[in-house]
Amino acid sequence: MSLHESIKESIKQAMLAKDQVKLETLRGIKAACTNELVAKGRKPQEELSDEETLAVITRLAKQRKDSIDQFGKGGREDLVKEEAAQLAVLETFLPTMMSQDEIRPIAIAKKEALGVTDKSGMGKLVGSLIGELKGKADGSDVKAVVESLF
Residues 71 and 128 in one domain: no
Residues 76 and 18 in one domain: yes
Residues 59 and 76 in one domain: yes
φ, ψ at 101 (rounded to 5°):
-65, -30
Average pLDDT, integer, range 130-139: 80
Residues 31 and 76 in one domain: yes
CA dihedral 130, 143, 108, 57 (to 10 degrees): -40
Average pLDDT, integer, range 58-82: 91
What is the count of structural domains for the chain? 2
Residues 85 and 124 in one domain: no
Looking at residue 104, what is its pLDDT? 86
Average pLDDT, integer, range 123-150: 82
Looking at residue 46, what is its pLDDT? 86
Residues 106 and 139 in one domain: yes
Residues 14 and 43 in one domain: yes
pTM (two decimals)? 0.71
**Burial of 90 (C-beta count, 10 Å sphere; 0-12/13-18/19+):** buried
- Is 16 a residue whose pLDDT tops 80? yes
Residues above pLDDT 70, as percent of the chain? 100
- d(CA 25, CA 4) in angstroms, rounded, equals 14
Residues 83 and 109 in one domain: no
124 is in which domain, residue-wise?
100-148
- Is 8 a residue whose pLDDT tops 80? yes
Residues 74 and 116 in one domain: no
- Is 12 a residue whose pLDDT tops 90? yes
The CATH number covering residue 47 comes to 1.10.1510.10
Residues 105 and 81 in one domain: no
